[in-house]
Amino acid sequence: MEYTVVYDTYVEVPIRISKTTPDEARIKRLERWPKEAGLSQPLGEGGTFMDLVKSFARDYELEIGEKNWSNTTAADKISIKMEQKLLRNGIQRGAAKMEGEIPLTPAEEGGNLVYTAKLKYSIELDNDVLAEKAASDVVEFSL
């Protein structure tokens, strides 16, 4: 199966944590952030990423599968990957993805440390699914 990217955007999101938060708790919060807030960030008029995923799934008659997460913490950053399969009759026909990183070097703002999550959101669909939708949306006129 070949896929085409039908949605792709990049955002930077500030994450504010109090300077008084202990280092270990700060890292734990940053590691949890993608699952707790990463998918609910507003992405313009289309709503959140999950709103867009639901819209594409509905438009292309796909079911939304479970999310698979992978977070890796290194000395200087937290790397984030999430993939959610888009299915038809139990067969993968697309995917919604979030990839990015949170550098562990914050800026300071008042009483907070500000970390910047750098995230890429994308949705890709099977070319056959796109072709089926295009064919079904064709309107015939006769004179």
Helix, strand, coil shares, percent, the chain, to 5: 30, 50, 20
3-class DSSP assignment, residue 21: coil
User: What's the pLDDT score for residue 79?
Assistant: 96
Q: Is residue 97 in some structural domain?
A: yes
Q: Is residue 136 part of a domain?
A: no
8-38 pLDDT, tens digit each: 999 999 999 999 999 999 999 999 999 888 8
What local confidence, expressed as pLDDT, does residue 135 receive? 72
pLDDT (average), residues 49-75: 94
Q: Is residue 140 part of a domain?
A: no
Q: Is residue 96 part of a domain?
A: yes
143 membership: H or E segment, kind and range: none
- Tell me which residue range forms the domain holding 18: 3-131
Number of domains within the chain? 1
- Render pLDDT for 66-115 as a digit per residue (tens, 0 to 9): 999 999 999 899 999 999 999 999 999 999 999 999 999 999 999 999 99
pLDDT at 75 (0 to 100): 87
Summarize pLDDT for 115-124 with one digit per residue, the tens: 999 999 999 9
Dihedrals φ, ψ of 45, to 5°?
Answer: -65, -20
Tell me how far apart the alpha carbons of residues 114 and 73 are, in angstroms, rounded to a whole number. Answer: 18
Two tokens, residue 86: 């888009």
pLDDT of 141 higher than 70: no
Residue 11 lies in a domain: yes
Query: pLDDT-derived band of residue 46, with 50, 70 and 90 as boundaries?
Result: confident
Q: How confident is the model at residue 143 (pLDDT cuts 50, 70, 90)?
A: low
**Predicted pLDDT of residue 133:** 78
Q: Which two tokens mark 68?
A: 């698979």
Asked whether residue 66 is assigned to any structural domain, the reply reads yes
Is 41 within the bounds of a domain? Answer: yes
96 exposed, middle or buried (CB, 10 Å; 0-12, 13-18, 19+)? buried
Q: How far apart, in Å, do the first and last CA atoms of the chain sit?
A: 39
- Give the pLDDT of residue 138: 53
User: Is residue 36 situated within a structural domain?
Assistant: yes
Could you tell me the pTM of the whole model?
A: 0.86
